[in-house]
Structure 1
Amino acid sequence: MVKFGSAATAFKSLNGLICVYKPPCVSVRQVQHTIITNICRDLNVLPDRPQEHRVEIVGSTNAPMRVKLVPNLADDPLVCGPRYLNEDFRCSWCIHLGLFSSGVLLLGINDGAKLTRLINMGRPTRAFKVHGQLGKATDTYFWNGKTVERSTYGHVTREKIDGIVAHMQAAHQKKMFELSGIHIESQTAYELASQGLIRPASSKLPILYGIKCVYFEPPNFTLEIQCVNEYDKYLWTLIHDLGVQLRTSAHCTGVQCIRQGKFNLQLALLRKHWQLEHIADNMNKCQQILDEHKEILEPTSALLTN
């Protein structure tokens, strides 16, 4: 664990990327605010620079006067306030997580904001565990929506789910090549795929690279999805569409991001660890990952231009 002897040393070291675990029903901006507030609180507790002094000349003007140094009350924390404020820090996220989603969230602090921009431009794949429930459909496709349909699900089996999600994955892989105007069985398609992971040039086009059922206990089930450019509503819709293809109804009960690029749950800081020393230690670990995997900031992949 990183130990700091002074607040100034700690402040200078807070430039980089951190990986935290975002709880559900907590917005990304609230996570940002909480982390920066905790950092400021811990910095203000550490020993800081000595209080400034001012020169004071005392004595009668018609006699020798004395010059002395006295504490400058204008520099007293009780007068001017805490040394470190939230406004002293910059904090940006790499890829946004919705309000109801939880899981891995990458944040850049101060100069680390440049890293979040580079990672975002590289469009790293993200892995999600999307939880669903059979037998009920809602108007928002999520558990908090209004129920619009109920149906039986006794005929649904693990094999049927596996077959449909495999078809979904194949359809998305085919779609990637169709967008580029290349036949999936051509030599050009092979050369394009050999360049690396194929990513869409547009950041608004969701693409699934892998989808499988990892848990099935009717009526509950869980899908593990590898994708880019996804968003909450899109993942909820996948669960709803799966229910339709299974000839029943389904809605999403939770979304958890378990990986962003090379950053996974084991690295993510829990809420109880959003403190200065843990954050600095996590920042060092994230920097090691960036040093070991240069492709995170400079991805070698094929981009679909259409």
Structure 2
Amino acid sequence: MAGGEAGGGGVAARAAQKLFSLSGLFAVYKPKGPTSAAVLNLLKERLLAEAGVQTNGNKRKSQVLKIGHGGTLDSAATGVLVVGIGKGTKLLKTILAGSKKYTAIGLLGKATDTLDATGKVTEEKPYDQVTKRDLENVLQKFTGDIMQVPPLYSALKKDGERLSTLVKRGEAVEAKPARPVRVYSLSLQQFQPPLFTLDVECGGGFYVRSLVSDIGKELSTCASMQELTRTKHGPFTLEEHALHEDKWTIDEIARSLEHCMSLLPGEPSHKKFKTEHPEETAVSCEDK
């Protein structure tokens, strides 16, 4: 019995040693429902439990594992969430500013306060006049370098607090000024009124919810986002790289890190990552 316990302790010690040696970037699948922070916390709990590290709610012990994510997804959104572990957390700023791909489903004729399906309907307008050609023509206006006003319900901050928190508390919040964003490509995949499906590739700090809302206004109606899936972030794709919950083990993540780090261009040094695009990475680029 004692020998078995010692052996078990040895296995746990090796698992812990392997866990704390992990370093780099990998991707997980974020399901619909939890926040990005909740997904990250669950991942951290799973890894610490597998390594036999008992935290018992002790934050200091759980903080020995450095882990973070690059770019928030709405709780209602799904898809690729890039995770940095160990020294890999230093690479997250560049990932934030990198390109992302999304598939979004918009709904014509209804606007909400959050610009998506989770909010209260604030306006309804007829949409029967909108044709597929109208939609395709409008998309050209939202491609390239454009100006975009971030939504009030967002993770952008004012005086250290998220705008969404302030709005929910009933405080008056002014809209952030329009800022430059980049749309690399934008195409209409399906149009079944009132629903339309878009494929979007954009840069950091872009809000797909704002895009859908702006498209509605441009078509002389209104629109809100119904579903959002991030299909790619940097070199990491939903199909090939995003680990689902059943693969959240130390060994699986070690394998994923090896593969994912080989996809980064030239495997730049941490120093380069820290100094690249300072003006973009200073922004909290939560993608909604």
Shift of 1:163: 0.5
Alpha carbon RMSD of aligned pairs, Å? 3.3
Which of 283, 287, 291 is 2:261 aligned to?
A: 287
Shift of 1:14: 1.6
Q: CA deviation at 1:144?
A: 2.1
**Would you say the 8 A contact 1:101–1:255 is kept in 2?**
yes
1:148 Cα deviation (Å)?
2.5
Q: What does 1:145-156 align with in structure 2 at a 5 Å threshold?
A: 145-156=119-130
Report the equivalent of 1:106: 82
Hey, which bits of structure 1, 4+ residues long, moved more than 3 A? 117-120, 172-175, 295-299
Preserved CA contact (<8 Å) 1:236 1:252: yes
| 2:266 partner amino acid | K
Q: Percent identity?
A: 27
Go from structure 1 to structure 2 and tell me whether the alpha carbon gap of 1:174 and 1:23 turns closer, same or farther (over 3 Å shift).
closer
Q: CA deviation at 1:253?
A: 0.8
Q: Residue in 1 aligned with 2:98?
A: 124
Residues 1:262 and 2:232 aligned together: no
Shift of 1:174: 7.3
Correspondence for 1:244: 217
Instruction: Give per-residue Cα distances to partners, 1:104-129, cap 9 Å, x unaligned.
Output: 11111112112223444xx2111111
Could you tell me how far apart the structure 2 residues matched to 1:173 and 1:249 are?
23
**Which residue is 1:89 aligned to?**
65
Aligned residue type for 1:228: G
Kindly indicate whether residue 47 of structure 2 is the aligned counterpart of residue 44 of structure 1: no
Is 2:29 the partner of 1:21? yes
SS of 2:33's equivalent in the other structure is coil
How many residues align? The count is 230
- Match in the other structure for 2:139: 165
TM-score normalised per structure 2: 0.69
Q: Rg: which structure is higher? A: 1
In structure 1, give the amino acid aligned to 2:124. R
- Letter aligned with residue 39 of structure 1: L
**Partner of residue 193, structure 1:** none
Judge conservation of contact 1:40–1:85 (CA < 8 Å) in 2: no
Structure 1 partner of 2:195: 220
Kindly provide the CA deviation profile for residues 64-116 of structure 1, in whole angstroms up to 9, marking residues without a partner as x.
xxxxxxxxxxxxx9xx9x9x952320112223333333211111111211222
Counterpart pick for 1:235 among 167, 187, 208: 208
Matches within 5 A, 1:184-195: none
What pairs up with 1:291-306 in 2 under 5 angstroms?
293-294=265-266
Q: Which moved more, 1:260-269 or 1:272-281?
A: 272-281
For the 8 Å contact 2:29–2:81, the answer to whether it is kept is: yes
Shift in Å, 1:264: 0.7
2:154 is matched with which residue?
none
Which whole-Å deviations, capped at 9, do the CAs of 1:14-46 have from their partners, x for residues lacking one?
A: 22211111123322221221111111111229x
Offset, 1:151: 2.8
* Native 8 Å contact 2:188 2:197 kept in 1: yes
Residue matched to 1:10: 18
- Say which SS state the counterpart of residue 88 (structure 1) adopts: coil
Note the residue ranges of structure 2 that are not aligned, 5 or more in a row.
1-9, 148-178, 280-288
Match of 2:111 among 131, 137, 156: 137
TM-score, with structure 1 as normaliser: 0.65
Measure, in 2, the Cα distance between the counterparts of 1:216 and 1:160: 11
Contact 1:124 1:296 in 2 (8 A): no
Residues 174 and 134 of structure 1: CA distance in aligned 2, closer, same or farther (over 3 Å): closer
Unpaired stretches in structure 1, ≥5 consecutive residues: 46-76, 176-203
